[in-house]
Amino acid sequence: MSQSIGNTVLAYARVWHHVDASDRVLGKLAERIALVLMGKHKPIYDPSVDCGDYVIVTNATKVKVSGLKAEQKMYRKHTMFPGGLKEVVYKDMMDRKPEEIIRHAVSGMLPKNKLRDRRLDRLRIFSGNDMGIFKHNIIKRWEDGTLQQAWVDKRERIS
């Protein structure tokens, strides 16, 4: 006879992950961060429940892009006034706000729903190696920028 315990508090506990963005490709890094923010690496994943973890990204200035994106990619925003379209090239954005490049990429990888802002609030990005007080919270690290092997094996079985 088996019993189902159900979703316990321990299953929904949030863990802090550390990611080093040095020499990582921006798109692949953003995809993996979005998976952890959504909680897809947990067995209790439900699209309508916010069960993801915290992610701390360091060395945001050392992230790489492939191809000619460094010269051609544009970040656009509008002030909502006539003629208020502002365009910033990737290189200028990397000099001014390297954190916003990763945040923008991860935001594009998350589903466009009411949970998106809550998930992005759990993403902490630092341009250098120092993460301040958050270094005491870290439980899991991705030195090579990938997820745990069990998660990769599970994805290969599904597809």
Which domains are assigned to the chain? 16-65+97-152 (3.90.1180.10)
User: What pLDDT does 1 receive?
Assistant: 46
User: What pLDDT does 37 receive?
Assistant: 96
User: What pLDDT does 69 receive?
Assistant: 92
Element (H, E) at 27: helix 26-38
145: left (phi over 0), alpha (psi -120 to 50) or beta: left
Going 61 to 66 to 68 to 74, the CA torsion angle's sign is negative
The model's confidence at residue 12, banded by pLDDT at 50, 70 and 90, is confident
